[in-house]
Copies of this chain bind each other. A is one copy, B any other.
Amino acid sequence: MERIGSRRVYEGRVIDVRVDEFRYDDGETAEREIAEHPGAVGIVAHDGERIYLVRQPREAVAEAALLEVPAGKLDVEGESPLECAQRELVEEIGMRASAWTEIKRFYTSPGFAEEEVTLFVATGLDEVADHRPDPHERIEVVQWPLADLDGAIDACADAKSLIALLLFRGLRG
Protein backbone atom coordinates (compact mmCIF):
# COMPACT_ATOMS: atom_id res chain seq x y z
CA MET A 1 0.00 0.00 0.00
CA GLU A 2 1.30 3.47 -0.84
CA ARG A 3 -0.08 6.97 -0.48
CA ILE A 4 -0.43 8.57 -3.91
CA GLY A 5 -2.15 11.83 -3.01
CA SER A 6 -3.19 14.09 -0.14
CA ARG A 7 -5.24 17.26 0.16
CA ARG A 8 -6.35 19.39 3.13
CA VAL A 9 -10.14 19.73 3.10
CA TYR A 10 -10.80 21.53 6.42
CA GLU A 11 -8.74 23.72 8.72
CA GLY A 12 -10.25 24.47 12.10
CA ARG A 13 -8.93 25.84 15.35
CA VAL A 14 -8.20 22.40 16.80
CA ILE A 15 -9.19 19.93 14.09
CA ASP A 16 -7.81 19.74 10.55
CA VAL A 17 -9.09 17.15 8.09
CA ARG A 18 -7.28 15.80 5.03
CA VAL A 19 -8.21 13.30 2.34
CA ASP A 20 -5.47 10.88 1.32
CA GLU A 21 -5.56 8.59 -1.70
CA PHE A 22 -3.95 5.14 -1.44
CA ARG A 23 -3.04 2.47 -3.96
CA TYR A 24 -3.06 -1.12 -2.70
CA ASP A 25 -0.74 -3.85 -3.94
CA ASP A 26 -3.51 -5.24 -6.18
CA GLY A 27 -3.80 -1.88 -7.99
CA GLU A 28 -7.10 -0.79 -6.44
CA THR A 29 -7.21 2.77 -5.09
CA ALA A 30 -9.22 4.26 -2.22
CA GLU A 31 -9.63 7.63 -0.52
CA ARG A 32 -9.57 8.06 3.26
CA GLU A 33 -10.73 11.08 5.25
CA ILE A 34 -8.44 11.61 8.23
CA ALA A 35 -8.74 13.91 11.26
CA GLU A 36 -5.21 15.20 11.82
CA HIS A 37 -3.77 15.21 15.33
CA PRO A 38 -0.29 15.95 16.74
CA GLY A 39 -0.47 13.06 19.25
CA ALA A 40 -0.92 13.06 23.01
CA VAL A 41 0.33 11.61 26.29
CA GLY A 42 -1.26 10.12 29.40
CA ILE A 43 0.36 9.59 32.81
CA VAL A 44 -0.19 7.20 35.74
CA ALA A 45 1.38 9.31 38.51
CA HIS A 46 1.47 7.73 41.96
CA ASP A 47 3.37 7.93 45.25
CA GLY A 48 2.76 4.33 46.36
CA GLU A 49 -0.42 5.29 48.22
CA ARG A 50 -2.36 7.57 45.91
CA ILE A 51 -2.81 7.98 42.17
CA TYR A 52 -3.16 11.57 41.03
CA LEU A 53 -6.13 11.92 38.68
CA VAL A 54 -7.93 14.95 37.26
CA ARG A 55 -11.56 15.83 36.75
CA GLN A 56 -12.34 18.18 33.88
CA PRO A 57 -15.19 19.22 31.59
CA ARG A 58 -15.36 17.30 28.28
CA GLU A 59 -17.96 19.30 26.42
CA ALA A 60 -17.78 17.06 23.32
CA VAL A 61 -19.25 14.06 25.08
CA ALA A 62 -20.66 14.67 28.54
CA GLU A 63 -22.62 17.06 30.69
CA ALA A 64 -20.55 16.18 33.75
CA ALA A 65 -16.77 16.42 34.10
CA LEU A 66 -14.81 13.22 33.40
CA LEU A 67 -12.29 11.54 35.70
CA GLU A 68 -9.04 10.94 33.79
CA VAL A 69 -5.31 10.45 34.18
CA PRO A 70 -3.26 13.65 33.66
CA ALA A 71 -2.75 14.09 29.92
CA GLY A 72 -2.12 16.55 27.16
CA LYS A 73 -1.48 17.15 23.50
CA LEU A 74 1.89 17.30 21.76
CA ASP A 75 1.22 20.88 20.76
CA VAL A 76 4.68 22.35 21.38
CA GLU A 77 6.89 22.26 18.27
CA GLY A 78 9.69 19.69 18.54
CA GLU A 79 8.61 18.36 21.94
CA SER A 80 9.01 14.61 22.57
CA PRO A 81 6.22 12.57 24.24
CA LEU A 82 8.32 12.37 27.45
CA GLU A 83 8.93 16.15 27.51
CA CYS A 84 5.22 16.72 26.90
CA ALA A 85 4.30 14.36 29.77
CA GLN A 86 6.72 16.14 32.11
CA ARG A 87 5.25 19.55 31.17
CA GLU A 88 1.65 18.35 31.53
CA LEU A 89 2.27 16.77 34.93
CA VAL A 90 3.41 20.16 36.25
CA GLU A 91 0.59 22.05 34.52
CA GLU A 92 -2.23 19.72 35.57
CA ILE A 93 -1.30 18.52 39.06
CA GLY A 94 1.67 20.70 40.08
CA MET A 95 4.11 17.79 40.39
CA ARG A 96 7.47 16.69 39.03
CA ALA A 97 8.47 13.02 38.88
CA SER A 98 12.00 11.60 39.10
CA ALA A 99 11.25 8.24 37.39
CA TRP A 100 9.42 7.83 34.07
CA THR A 101 8.59 4.55 32.32
CA GLU A 102 6.88 4.38 28.93
CA ILE A 103 4.33 1.54 29.01
CA LYS A 104 2.44 1.71 25.68
CA ARG A 105 1.70 3.60 22.47
CA PHE A 106 -1.75 3.26 20.92
CA TYR A 107 -4.13 4.88 18.42
CA THR A 108 -7.37 6.27 19.84
CA SER A 109 -9.48 5.64 16.71
CA PRO A 110 -7.42 4.51 13.72
CA GLY A 111 -10.42 4.32 11.37
CA PHE A 112 -10.64 8.10 11.09
CA ALA A 113 -8.12 9.89 13.33
CA GLU A 114 -4.32 9.83 13.36
CA GLU A 115 -4.04 10.54 17.09
CA GLU A 116 -1.38 8.39 18.78
CA VAL A 117 -1.11 8.41 22.59
CA THR A 118 2.05 7.54 24.54
CA LEU A 119 1.43 6.33 28.11
CA PHE A 120 3.84 6.66 31.03
CA VAL A 121 4.08 5.64 34.68
CA ALA A 122 5.62 8.45 36.76
CA THR A 123 6.95 7.99 40.30
CA GLY A 124 9.23 9.85 42.69
CA LEU A 125 6.74 12.73 42.88
CA ASP A 126 7.63 16.17 44.24
CA GLU A 127 5.42 19.22 44.51
CA VAL A 128 6.39 22.20 42.38
CA ALA A 129 6.65 25.39 44.42
CA ASP A 130 4.27 28.22 43.51
CA HIS A 131 2.22 26.12 41.13
CA ARG A 132 -0.72 28.09 39.77
CA PRO A 133 -3.06 26.09 37.54
CA ASP A 134 -4.60 27.79 34.50
CA PRO A 135 -8.16 28.67 35.62
CA HIS A 136 -9.40 28.34 32.01
CA GLU A 137 -8.53 24.63 32.06
CA ARG A 138 -11.06 24.05 34.90
CA ILE A 139 -9.07 21.05 36.13
CA GLU A 140 -9.64 19.60 39.60
CA VAL A 141 -6.92 17.29 41.01
CA VAL A 142 -8.27 14.06 42.55
CA GLN A 143 -6.12 11.94 44.87
CA TRP A 144 -7.37 8.37 44.46
CA PRO A 145 -6.28 5.57 46.85
CA LEU A 146 -4.02 3.11 45.06
CA ALA A 147 -5.71 0.31 47.05
CA ASP A 148 -8.90 1.09 45.08
CA LEU A 149 -7.38 0.90 41.59
CA ASP A 150 -10.36 -1.15 40.39
CA GLY A 151 -12.66 1.66 41.50
CA ALA A 152 -10.68 4.17 39.43
CA ILE A 153 -10.93 1.88 36.39
CA ASP A 154 -14.71 1.66 36.85
CA ALA A 155 -14.98 5.44 37.23
CA CYS A 156 -12.99 6.33 34.10
CA ALA A 157 -14.63 6.46 30.69
CA ASP A 158 -11.95 7.60 28.25
CA ALA A 159 -9.54 5.43 26.28
CA LYS A 160 -6.18 6.74 27.54
CA SER A 161 -7.16 6.56 31.23
CA LEU A 162 -8.61 3.05 30.91
CA ILE A 163 -5.61 1.66 29.00
CA ALA A 164 -3.14 3.37 31.33
CA LEU A 165 -4.80 2.11 34.52
CA LEU A 166 -5.54 -1.40 33.17
CA LEU A 167 -1.94 -1.85 32.01
CA PHE A 168 -0.68 -0.46 35.32
CA ARG A 169 -2.87 -2.95 37.20
CA GLY A 170 -1.33 -5.76 35.14
CA LEU A 171 2.22 -4.53 35.85
CA ARG A 172 1.52 -4.56 39.60
CA GLY A 173 0.45 -8.22 39.24
On A, residues with C-beta under 8 Å from B are 1, 3, 9-10, 12-15, 17, 19-20, 22, 24, 30-35, 37, 40, 57-63, 66, 73, 104-116, 136, 138, 156-160, 162-163, 166-167, 169-170
- Asked if residues B61 and A110 are in contact (CB atoms below 8 Å), the reply is yes
- Asked if residues A1 and B59 are in contact (CB atoms below 8 Å), the reply is yes
Report the separation of the CA atoms of residues A66 and B9 in the bound assembly, to the nearest whole angstrom. 26
- Asked if residues B59 and A33 are in contact (CB atoms below 8 Å), the reply is no
- 13 A-B pairs (CB sep. < 8 Å): A9-B12, A14-B112, A15-B35, A20-B60, A32-B59, A35-B112, A58-B107, A61-B107, A61-B114, A107-B158, A109-B109, A109-B159, A159-B160
| Chain B residues, CB < 8 A from A37 | 112
CB distance from A89 to the nearest CB of B (A): 17
Give the one of A35, A109, A136 with max B CB within 10 A: A109
| Chain B residues, CB < 8 A from A115 | 109
Report the separation of the CA atoms of residues A55 and B133 in the bound assembly, to the nearest whole angstrom. 43
- Known contacts: A12-B10, A33-B12. The answer to whether A110 contacts B20 by CB under 8 A is no
Besides A20-B60, A37-B112, A113-B113, 9 other CB < 8 A contacts? A15-B35, A15-B112, A35-B112, A58-B111, A60-B110, A62-B110, A104-B162, A108-B108, A108-B159
